């Protein structure tokens, strides 16, 4: 096995009579006579050299459904067309490890959102550091260092409730901002 490995996955599916949620003037569940379709590709590549490994992922997703409000096929809501990620890890058995990650999430169609019809793309960065002291491992983990969160662009609370009674919009990005955690692990 060489230092580089790659995987390509192509996929396609069609769901006949999918459940359609209508929230215009009433809340209604129906089976749509037109199919919902998914097509896409996922690419994964990993490079390994001694204690270092780097993995990159990319996915392209084309998901369509019929929307009676537009009398046309539209992108499925809350389904980003593109995602990209990269992780890198350096690890030595008796010392510890250090990892970094970066993820990009593309635009998504939003449904029943009074503030926007399409989300903004966002980037999230994180890291993990772990040091070994004999049978003890101390670690620190950080996520979403870019502080990407939905409330930076739009409110989550609605000014009035929706037809189905919700007072919040759907989540389409992180809601909690930066997250830090750490701890100690013991091996016996």
Alpha carbon distance 64, 14 (integer Å): 10
* Residue 164 DSSP one-character state: T
pLDDT for position 1: 59
What's the pLDDT tens digit per position in 37-62?
999 999 999 999 999 999 999 999 99
Q: Could you give the CA distance from residue 11 to residue 13 in angstroms, rounded to a whole number?
A: 7
Find the mean pLDDT for residues 6-33.
Answer: 90
Share of the chain above pLDDT 90, in %: 79
Domains of the chain with CATH codes: 4-186 (2.40.170.20)
pTM (2 d.p.): 0.88
User: Is it the case that residue 68 has pLDDT exceeding 70?
Assistant: yes
**pLDDT of 84-141, one tens digit each?**
999 999 999 889 999 999 999 999 999 889 999 999 999 999 999 999 998 999 999 9
What span, in angstroms and rounded, lies between the C-alpha atoms of 156 and 83? 23
CB-based contact 130:92 (threshold 8 Å): no
């Amino acid at each position: 096995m060489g230092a580089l490995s790659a995987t390509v996955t192509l996929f396609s599916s069609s769901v006949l009579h999918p459940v359609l949620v209508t929230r215009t003037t009433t809340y209604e569940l129906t089976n749509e006579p037109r199919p919902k379709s998914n097509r896409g590709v996922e690419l994964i590549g990993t490079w390994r050299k001694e204690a270092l490994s780097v993995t990159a992922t990319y996915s392209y997703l084309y998901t369509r459904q019929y929307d009676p409000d537009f009398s046309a096929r539209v992108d499925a809501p809350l389904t980003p067309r593109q995602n990209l990620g990269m992780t890198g890890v350096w690890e030595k058995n008796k010392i510890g490890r250090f990892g970094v990650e970066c993820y990009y999430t593309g635009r998504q169609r939003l449904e029943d959102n009074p503030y926007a019809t399409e989300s903004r793309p966002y980037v999230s960065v994180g890291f993990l550091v772990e040091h070994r002291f004999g049978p003890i491992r101390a670690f620190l983990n950080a996520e979403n260092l870019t502080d990407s969160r939905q409330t930076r662009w739009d409110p989550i609370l609605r000014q009035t409730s929706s037809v189905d009674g919700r007072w919040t919009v759907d989540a389409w990005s992180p809601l909690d901002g930066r997250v830090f955690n750490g701890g100690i692990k013991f091996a016996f």
